[in-house]
Structure 1
Amino acid sequence: MAKFWVCAAGAGLFLACLILHSRFCGSPVLRNFAFQVSWRTEEILYRLDVDWPEYSEYFTGATFGVAVDSLNGLVYVAQRGDNIPKVLVFTEDGCFLRAWNYTVDTPHGIFAASTLHEQSVWITDVGSGSYGHTIKKYNSFGDLVQVLGTPGKKGTGLNPLQFDNPAELYVEDTGDMYIVDGDGGLNNRLIKLSQDFMMLWLHGENGTEPAKFNIPHSVTLDSAGRVWVADRGNKRIQVFDKDTGEWLGAWTNCFTEEGPSSVRFTLDGKYLIVAQLNLSRLLFVAAPPAGSIGDCSVISTIQLADQVLPHLLDVSGKTGAIFVAEIGAKQVQKYVPLNGYFLSFGS
């Protein structure tokens, strides 16, 4: 019995030495090992804000998308249903402000692209009616400002531009935008447009090879100038250079059960938040340094109730709060970061 305890103590001391060595001496192999050990005992990173919004009765349809205007402290919710407002506007604190239902048929993705000079809301419309198959720009009060695509006509064309079930877009502060066009339908492509809507580059084929897609569903950018695409049907995330469109790599090892539905980065840029729709799960994945994609490494998870179905999400640029549009639960939920929520072994 004494030998057992001696061996156990020795093993524990050896493990502690490995972790300390990796932390202070920088061995890549040992650092990786220490990282894997540390996340398993890490506390929950976020907590649910049960008081958001103040009154959930405003959700009257299936909530497909959510967008945060961090500059003005606003949250836009896109919902579907008959004879209901298609867009709801709340404050980040949960106060309901207004609703509008103009020229939106079937909203899917929504993005707030506000600057000091302009407040704008972009919506991808996947409807089959006269407003469908387009991407629309509105001001914060719901007035239609711009339409991309050919209203009511799906297609693959680029001149004039046509869409078929455009899933989501991401707009940079420069006005350049990245569009994933292909939530089913004719297209499986990633398009970059300039601020005056000229095409800068395109990846546009269906397939499993690099830079091809099967239901590209969500797109986001990081501070290193990389474009991250949730390639849902292929159960992977693909990464591209934002300037050239060059394919940089892909993550597949985290998505053997189900592909990613939504991608956004935490406020500090250290973690990519990934929603998995049918698993009703949020993953927090370590963001790789510039110049390296590597393998996907899940740091933490939030397991939601069955059939909640998190579809798309967004992150506040001020508080770091996560807003999740849940089509199964027909609501948007807010998760707020806990103080000291990141442990940094090997950082």
Structure 2
Amino acid sequence: MALLLFIMFMCGAISSHIASRSHADFRVSGRALYKLDISWPRNPELFTGQVFAVAVNHLRGRVYVAQRGENIPKVLVFSTDGELLQAWNTSSLEMPHGMFLANASADPTLWITDVGNGPFGHTVKQYSPTGKLLRVLGSPGKAGSSLSPLQFDQPAEIFIHSSGEIYIVDGDVNNRLIKLSPDLQVLWMHAERGSGLAQFYIPHSVAVDRYQRVWVADRGNKRIQVFNSVTGDWLGSWGSCFKDDAPCSIRFTPDQKYIVVAQLNTNQITLLEAPPIGIIGQCQVISTIELAEDVKPHLVDLDLKSSDLYVAEIGAGQAQKFVPLSAAGV
């Protein structure tokens, strides 16, 4: 009986592996900058839920993958070679949404936004690299818009600058972009729902470039908005590249030549030309990775050392790794 169960488990694992790899089909239009690494991870059947987010520690060669589901580890930790190193069976994380690896060079920590409706939800949590809960931002289990005490309502994503300053996009209810100091004081905020300048409808992802500009994927408005990171002043908006589908995720390649955007409903990863300092202009598509129809890419992250691109895919229930083509100059 035990042998039979083992055989059934292995067959299930193999079929899961095959099903996962069936989502690997993709096409590239425009300039070819990346190719799929079909060997990562080594055991894709280890994904057991809906994969929502990914974060990379480029100095320690760690890839963190957040997934949702009942009675499953919420975070899987892989090496950049694809080996599973750890699984977090933490009860403090309900429904992970966004994830960010901060301070990789000294004391790395992992920040995760939790959009759950239970006693731990509506918060942003800071974890050690091994899964120890270090700090909670927000009021656990209490959705709200207060700044004192700090509250969130399904916070989407967080970005921690090297200065320690914190940027948070707070969901489709509050529709807020908040900048916090390292000691959690509100420095500036935009918190008005709408389609006008500095208004949001479902802000979903945030990133800061080397020129003190904050880039926000304004998903409901099918655009990216840009702000001065010091003053919070509105600098510009890109919408012409997103007629068919909204931007879900936004990250920069390590050299900051390109902006990497995930588009969930059209199953695309789009690379846009990043504008130089002082110029926002119009968006320009350089390359598009068209994934299989049901993959649903949600959030992405890049290895700041190798430029490898990792994609969290809700529909496929997996994370995939794309590596830069040597001649692409990524």
State TM-score, norm by structure 1.
Answer: 0.85
TM superposition shift of 1:71: 2.0
After the TM superposition, list the runs of 4 or more consecutive aligned residues in structure 1 that deviate by more than 2 angstroms: 40-43, 114-117
Measure, in 2, the Cα distance between the counterparts of 1:131 and 1:330: 24
Q: Which residue of 1 aligns with 2:101?
A: 112
Q: Which residue of 2 aligns with 1:243?
A: 230
Q: Which residue of 1 aligns with 2:114?
A: 125
Query: Does 2:158 align with 1:175?
Result: no
Pick from 327, 330, 339: which aligns with 2:314?
327
Pick from 186, 190, 195: which aligns with 1:199?
186
1:163-201 CA distance string (max 9 Å, x none): 00100010011211100001x3x2101000111111111
Pick from 210, 219, 225: which aligns with 1:223?
210
2:241 counterpart SS class:
coil
Against the structure 1 CA distance between its residues 41 and 84, is the aligned structure 2 distance closer, same or farther, given a 3 Å change threshold? closer
Q: Which residue of 2 aligns with 1:306?
A: 293
Q: Identical aligned pairs, as a percentage?
A: 56
AA aligned to 2:267 is S
Measure, in 2, the Cα distance between the counterparts of 1:194 and 1:58: 38
Against the structure 1 CA distance between its residues 69 and 41, is the aligned structure 2 distance closer, same or farther, given a 3 Å change threshold? closer
Query: Does 2:67 align with 1:79?
Result: yes
Q: List alignment gaps of at least 5 residues for structure 1.
A: 1-39
TM superposition shift of 1:214: 0.3
Deviates more, 1:113-122 or 1:215-224: 113-122
Pick from 88, 93, 99: which aligns with 1:100?
88
> CA contact under 8 A between 1:115 and 1:173: conserved in structure 2?
no
Measure, in 2, the Cα distance between the counterparts of 1:98 and 1:267: 27
CA RMSD for the aligned pairs? 1.3
State TM-score, norm by structure 2.
Answer: 0.89
Measure, in 2, the Cα distance between the counterparts of 1:232 and 1:278: 11
TM superposition shift of 1:42: 5.6
Q: List alignment gaps of at least 5 residues for structure 2.
A: 1-27
Q: Which residue of 1 aligns with 2:4?
A: none
AA aligned to 1:158 is L
Query: Does 2:51 align with 1:63?
Result: yes
Deviates more, 1:40-49 or 1:250-259: 40-49
1:123 counterpart SS class:
strand
Query: Does 2:191 align with 1:212?
Result: no
Measure, in 2, the Cα distance between the counterparts of 1:70 and 1:62: 24
AA aligned to 2:178 is I
Q: Which residue of 1 aligns with 2:19?
A: none
Measure, in 2, the Cα distance between the counterparts of 1:42 and 1:277: 19
Higher relative contact order (CA 8 A, sep 6+): 2
AA aligned to 1:329 is A
TM superposition shift of 1:342: 4.2
Measure, in 1, the Cα distance between the counterparts of 2:96 and 2:104: 23
AA aligned to 1:245 is G
Pick from 246, 266, 270: which aligns with 1:283?
270
AA aligned to 2:88 is W
2:81 counterpart SS class:
coil
Query: Does 2:177 align with 1:190?
Result: yes
AA aligned to 1:48 is L
